Amino acid sequence: MTKVTDTVQRVTDRIIARSEATRRTYLHTMEAARAKGPARAHLSCSGQAHAYAASGPDKDRLTGTSAGNLGIVTAYNDMLSAHQPFERFPDLIRQAAREAGGTAQVAGGVPAMCDGVTQGEAGMELSLFSRDVIALAASVALSHNTFDAAVFLGVCDKIVPGLVIAAQAFGHLPAVFLPAGPMQSGLPNDEKAKVRQQFANGEVGRDALMQAEMASYHGPGTCTFYGTANTNQMLMEFMGLHLPGSSFVTPNTGLRDALTREGAKRALGLSALGNDYTPVCGILDERAFVNGIVGLNATGGSTNLLIHLIAMARAGGILLDWQDFSELSEVTPLMARVYPNGLADVNHFHAAGGLGYMIGELLKAGMLHPDTRTVAGTGLEHYTRDPVLSDGHLCWRDGTGQSLNEKILRPVSDPFQPTGGLKRLAGSLGTAVMKISAVTAEHQIVEAPVRVFHDQDEVKAAFKAGELTGDVIVVVRFQGPKANGMPELHSLTPVLSILQGRGQKVALVTDGRMSGASGKVPAAIHVSPEAVEGGPIARLRDGDLLRVDATQGTLDILTSGISDRPAVTAELSANTAGTGRELFAMFRNTVGSATTGASIFGG
């Protein structure tokens, strides 16, 4: 077994030491919950009758001895293409549970919103908060304490992190995460991006834009670019909560259905009623989170996970910080080029060898902890194998030992770049992070005067008015979690890309977020302290000089005297009502900073 590198071990040891007290408390709580066990048999007769009234052919097993009762927590809706396939999953899971001698019930549903629909709209201000709502809703679903194990059905941006937070609250139970898979490839992402830029530049009309968008997002399944949703799926394999090789199998296929059924059986097999008890709290330890961070860097994944992973870890008593991400990024080779970091989509990535090849390479290089517990058994080596149907039966075979397309996926010995896709920035403006996997070297340092905005629509208006000339750093502030829920600002990407394409040096600096689809324009995001808390970003004025340096990891104000200015305050009443925002005042008032996961749970 290959020994992990010194950096991986050093960062892991630091996380373990930092988390010692909180992790010990969490594990003690989980042991107490395990000792009590499911209260199903101890419910009153009335309580049991309520729980089993609609269970039909499963009633006898629920009231007697069985292989366990499986709770299904689903994020199904048919507005999200990624989640529409989940409509069929409960029937598949129930039948699989019966075949294993157990039962399964839909414990509850959780909301699932689409950032693609709300991008640039008021609803985006609920997006990040929806993660914690999902965690709360999933906890309510499992609170009946009638389940021996759980399966979680979710794919997209905040849904998987929210479900993981809830799974850790019930960490004494085993859990398997069941993905739906990506949609079939449609219009190539680079062609769609070209049409978006043409529309932003006034070169084509909305009819051409709509045609391109519909040809790209065209059927059931996850969007095929490597944004937050597909980064989530990668993490669930690297961290051991998916069945091996299951992330990028397309929906409504025989293999997808077989993996769903096997996931249900596996969840029951991991319960305390069997001989292979493997609770979530035993899988998601410090080493699993380090493996996830390495996977995030090696794939050039979404910046949203810099927030989500911190919140997910804290739910299990593990304390991560951005320095952990940055140090691991410095030694993790970028092995994949998937749009927006390249031209390929996740289907092409999967065909080239996918996660199985990548995990095998990283294990051989000592970049991953090899002996973590997973739902497939102890050892991440399980995740180097591919699922296949043989004579109608699901089995796993050894994955490819070499990349099948080195334009998409490369070995550790010959990566696209020697370091990962994420960089921590720190300096006189505060701390921030940048995704650099798609930012070319000549654009990684920008020193320029700023234009300050309090709204992304103001940026677009300035662009249309021809005001953004010359080198410029666009500062969009009052976009942090306490100000307005920290919306993604991805709708600015076409505008900033046009400026960059004109030969201007351009960067974005914001206390808000960018999408997992952020790409070629350098964006220093998640700036902390945020403007509403009086951070230095609230003292900037038009014309002040900033230096954004992703090579050195710095974010500095070059104009003197700024710290002596009063912090600007903003009129934020427009963010407090409409589209449900009035119901989230408590979240804005209690949310923690981006550096602690931007969560309402002890941030």
Say how many Å lie between the first and final Cα of the chain, rounded: 38
- For the CA atoms of 373, 378, 383, 386, what is the dihedral angle to 10 degrees? -130
Residue 546: strand pairing partners: 448, 557
Q: What is the 8-class DSSP label of residue 369?
A: -
b/e sequence 135-162, b meaning 16+ C-beta within 10 Å: bbbbbebbebbbbbbbbbbbbbbbbbbb
395 is in an annotated binding site: no
**Contact yes or no for 425/555 (Cβ under 8 A):** yes
Name the amino acid, one letter, at 106: V
DSSP 14-54: HHHHHTHHHHHHHHHHHHHHHHH---GGGS-HHHHHHHHTT
Alpha-carbon distance of 430 to 537, in angstroms, equals 8
Supply 373's token pair.
Answer: 């517990």
Q: Which amino acid is at 364?
A: K
The Cα–Cα gap between 105 and 48 comes to: 14
156 marked ligand binding residue: yes
Joined tokens for residue 153: 């059905």
The token duo for 370 is: 């090899």
What does the radius of gyration of the chain's CA atoms come to, in whole angstroms? 24
Tokens, residue 570: 């903003």
- Indicate the pairing of strand 385-390 with strand 393-398: antiparallel
Give me 47's structure tokens.
């309580």
| Spatial separation of the C-alpha atoms in residues 193 and 592, rounded to whole Å | 34
Cα–Cα distance, 304 to 309 (Å, whole number): 9
Which parts are annotated binding residues? 156, 223
Which parts are annotated binding residues for [4Fe-4S] cluster? 156, 223
